[in-house]
A = this chain, B = another copy of it.
Amino acid sequence: MKLSCRTGALALGILSFSDFLTPALALPKTLWAQQRAKSHGKKVFASAINKRYTNDTTDDANDPEDCYVKTAADIAAPKDNIWAGLTDGEAASVTAWLFAQPELNLTTSGEAGEWDNTIILVELMAPNKTDALAYLDGTGSAPDRYAHAIIDHAAGEDAYYGDIIVGPLPVVNGTTTWQPLEYPYSRKTSGRVRNLDASSDSLYEKWIYVIGAEVADITMDLWGASCTGSDNDTLDIWGIDPTYQEGDSVKMWNTFWSNPTTIFDVGSMMPMGLFFLSDITGRDISKWKMEGWYYNGVFYETTEEFRAAYWNGEVEKLGGNFDGDWADTDQQGDVPPFDTLAPPVSMIPQGSRYSVDPGRKYVEWMDWSFYIGFDRDRGMTLWDIRYNGTRILYELGLQEALAHYAGSDPVQSHVAYLDTYYGFGPFAFELLKGYDCPSYSTFLNSSFYVDETTHTHINSICLFEFDADYPLARHSSSNYVTATKNVHFTVRSVSTVGNYDYMFSYTFFMDGSVAVEARASGYIQAAFYALNEEYGFKIHDHLSGSMHDHVLNFKADFDIMGTENTVEKVKQVPHTTTYPWSKGKVFNTMKLDRSFIETEDEGQLFWSFNNAEQIFVVNQEVKNSVGESKGYRILPYTGTAHLTVEGSTVLKNSAHWAEHDLMITKQRDTEPRSSHPYNNQDTENPPVNFATFFDGESLNQTDLVVWFNLGMHHVPNTGDLPTTVFTTAHSGIQFMPANYFDVGVNKRTVNMVRVNYDDGEATEVATFGSGGDTCELNYEPAAVDLWEYVGDVVVRKFPYLPDDPYYETDSIV
C-alpha cells in the first residue's frame, strides 16, 4: 500500500506444461488445467449426488465407489461464467491485436521507457447487467465478449491513461475494433485520466536519490544510514499517496524509512521523522522544485537552511526506528502450557458436501449456488447468488478500500490510500492451507494481467464447509431438548496490499442468511513519534501507532424475487399514547415506524443510534403466504465504520462513497462501480465520482443497488505489534431473510437432534436421518504439505508462450 522503488527480477522457471490458467469458458482444457480439474470430484458420480439430494440412501448409493467424496463433487454449471475473465487465448490475441494498431503506438513493457506507450491491463469487460440477466434467465444468448484494456499514453507531455474496450471477441482482424470506454464512468473525458506517475522512474533516479545523497551527511550523522539509490542503501525514501493535487500543481511529501535487515516485511513501521516537500508538477524535471524540509515541528524553506540549522546544533537528534525481534512475526517468548500439543482441528469425515465446476468457477452448497469472478481492481466477486434456484443477489463484492491517515507530520496527514490503484487482484496471493482456510478446503486459482503476462495465483480462493462452535437453533424444556448444527459455507480470498492483509470471507448459512466479513492483519504503517501525541499511541521507542480509518466499500446488488425492489426502514421508536383499554391512561412504550426510501435523495444512510432502525430490501409486489413483502434484512454484524474526516483535503471528490454506512442507488449499467483505480490521479475530478450517482431517481420498486461500507477506526496500540490481529480487527455485515420464507428454511436440514427424556432416562433420540448415510466415516485429516507453497505462475502473452510458464510473485513492498 506504499509507493517505493521496485526491484523485481524475472525468475524464469523450467516448467514445460502448457497452461496455468483456469479457463473461463468450457473450452478444451490444457493438460495442466485438466490435471487441476481432475483433483475435484474424484470417484463421484452424478447418480450418487442425485440420490443424496433426494435423501435416498437405500440402494446403490451404498456402493463404496460412490462414497469417497473427499474433494468437491464435479458439477457442470448451468450457464457459462460470464464474469470469469478472458481465456488465456483471448488475452493473448487481444494483446497481439493491440500491438498491431499503429495509432496506439505501443511498446512492450520490457523495452519501454518513460516516454513510451504501454498496455497496463487486458481483462474481461464485465457484461452489463441488462445483457447478463437476459442470458441467465434464459431469454438471451451469452452477451458479446469484450476486452477491457488500459493504455498508458506516456509518449507525450500530457501523459494519460486510456480506458478502452476491444471486441467483440474472438479477435478477427478487420472486424475487431477498439473504442474509448466512457459509459461506466461519471467523468466524460473519453476514458482518459491524467497519469501523475508517468515520471516515476525519474522521480527516484533523478530526484529522490539525488536529494537523499545530498543530505547523506545529515542522515549518516543522525542515524548512521543513507539512501542514495545504491544497492546497499540502509534507508528508503517514499511518501504520500495520493500526490497532493491542487489545480494543476502536484506536490509530493517524502520521508525516510530504515530498510529491513531481514526477510521480514517491516518497512512500514520504520519511519525516521525527516520529511521533504517537492513540487513535481509536469514531466519536465527541470521545473520540479524542492520546497522545504520538516523535522520535529520545524519547517525549513530550503535544504541549505535545514543543513545550516542541523550543523549549527539547532536540530535535536531524536533517534530513528530500526527493525529487530520486536517487529518480526516468528515465535518468541515462553511457550504457553500444552501449546506444543496439536490443537483442535476440523475435519470432513465423509468428504466435501458441495459441488464445484472449477472451470467455470461455479459452486453449489446445499441450496445455495453462485459464480465467482475475479478482476484486477477488486479481486474476487460473487455473481448470481441463488437460494434454491431463485436469485437473491446479482452481484456481491468489494469496490474499493480507503485507508485515510492523519498526523501532525506531512506524510501521515497526506496519506489516503485508495487500494484499487494497486489492485486487490494482483495481491490475492496463495493461501496457507490449514491456516488461512481448513486443510480440506477446495482451492481455486485466480489470474490477472500485467506487462504482457498473465499471473496466476495458485490456490488463492478457498471454499470450505465448517461447523460453528455454536448451534443454529435450540430449545430445552422439562421433557425434551432440540438443537440444529450450524454448518455453514465460506468463500475466502486474502489480498495483501503492501503492508496490510485483508481477508474477505463470504459465508452462507442454513437459515438463508449470508455474512460478508473483512479482517485486517499484517503490518501497520506507523509514524515517527515526534509531536504525534494527538494522532496515536506511542507503541515503540520512537514510534506512533498512527491513527487511520479503514473504509471498505462493497456492492450488493439485491434482486428479491426479481429486480423490482424497494428499501424499507423499520424503526423502533419510543411512543407515548393511550389505548382503548387504558381508560385514558398515558403509556410510555414503543412502536414501529415503517417507511420506504422513495428516491436517491433519501438514499444515503447511517447506521442508527442504538441500532434502532432495521433496513430491508423488499419486493412490495411479492408477498409471502401471510401478506408481508418478501425481503432480506441488512444488519451490521461486527463493527463498521465510515470516514471520520469531513471534506478531506486529500481525497476531495475521489471517495464520497466513504461518507455514509449504507447507500442505495438505482441500478444503472452506467454506474457499475463506485470507484475507479485512477481516482487518485485526479482527486478533484476523478473518473468515478460516487456523489453523482445520487440524482433523485426513484427507488420505488426498481432495480436497486446497496453499497455498504465495512471498516474500522484503527488507533494501533502495542497489541498491533508485530502485526494487527484478526480477532478484533474485523468488520462485517449480514443479510438475513425477513418474511422471505414462510418458516425458517433451517428446518430442512437433517443435522438436528431431538432428545426426549423422563425420569433420568432419554426416551427418544430423533436424528432425522443425519448420520444415516452409509458411506464410511474417515476422520483422517487432509494432509497438508506446506512445502508445496509455490507463489504465482506467470504466462507470457506477447509473445504468447503458453508452454513456457515461470514463477514470480510480486508484492508492493
Contacts and interface: CB of A to CB of B under 8 A. Distances in A.
Contacts of A610: 606-607, 641-642, 644, 661, 713
B435 A471 contact: yes
Which of A49, A337, A748, A790 counts the most B-chain CB atoms under 10 A from its CB? A337
A329 B747 contact: yes
Interface in A402-445: 404, 406, 408-410, 413, 427, 429-430, 432, 435-438, 440
Contacts of A522: 474-475
A369 B553 CA distance: 40
Nearest to A756: B263
A751 interface: yes
Contacts of A366: 336-339
A707 interface: no
Contacts of A55: 335, 339-340
Contacts of A744: 718-723, 725
Contacts of A510: 336
A727 B509 contact: yes
Contacts of A15: 760
5 contacts: A52-B341, A331-B747, A435-B753, A718-B741, A757-B791
A148 interface: no
Contact of A737 (B57, B606, B719): B719
Interface stretch (A115-123, A133-141, A671-679, A777-785): A777-785
A248 interface: no
Contacts of A746: 725
B589 A335 contact: no
Which of A408, A475, A770 counts the most B-chain CB atoms under 10 A from its CB? A475
Main SS at interface, chain A: loop
Given A263-B479, A265-B477, A755-B786, 4 more contacts: A475-B501, A475-B523, A476-B501, A574-B646
A413 B547 contact: no
A522 B440 CA distance: 33
Interface string A475-504: 111111111111100101010100001010
A202 to B, nearest CB: 25
B728 A513 contact: yes
Contacts of A589: 406, 413, 645, 648-650
Nearest to A265: B477
A539 interface: yes
A771 interface: yes
A432 B755 contact: yes
Interface stretch (A23-31, A214-222, A459-467): A459-467
A65 to B, nearest CB: 15
A591 B721 CA distance: 22
Contacts of A761: 790, 807
Given A475-B329, A624-B718, A790-B762, A406 B591 contact: yes
Given A346-B346, A474-B501, A744-B721, A486 B52 contact: no
Contacts of A485: 343, 435
Interface string A309-348: 0000000000000000010011111111111111111111
Which of A348, A496, A587, A717 counts the most B-chain CB atoms under 10 A from its CB? A717
A263 B479 CA distance: 8
> What is the interface residue range for chain A against chain B?
35 or more
A496 to B, nearest CB: 4
Given A406-B590, A541-B626, A587-B649, A481 B335 contact: no
Nearest to A711: B611
Contacts of A786: 753, 755, 762, 765
Contact of A769 (B13, B335, B354, B477): B335
Contact of A299 (B580, B741, B811): B580
B789 A481 contact: yes
A750 B477 CA distance: 43
A167 interface: no
Nearest to A75: B337
A344 B347 contact: yes
Interface string A714-754: 01011111111111100000101111111111111111111
Which of A265, A645, A758, A793 counts the most B-chain CB atoms under 10 A from its CB? A645
Contact of A11 (B494, B496, B756, B758): B758
Nearest to A513: B727
Nearest to A651: B588
Contacts of A476: 427, 429-430, 494, 496, 501, 811
Contacts of A606: 609-610
Contact of A349 (B53, B345, B484, B579): B345
A759 interface: yes
Contacts of A635: 639, 728
Nearest to A794: B760
A455 B333 CA distance: 46
A479 B809 contact: yes
B521 A473 contact: yes
A52 to B, nearest CB: 5
A340 B469 contact: no
A480 B19 CA distance: 25
B771 A342 contact: yes
A535 interface: yes
A60 to B, nearest CB: 15
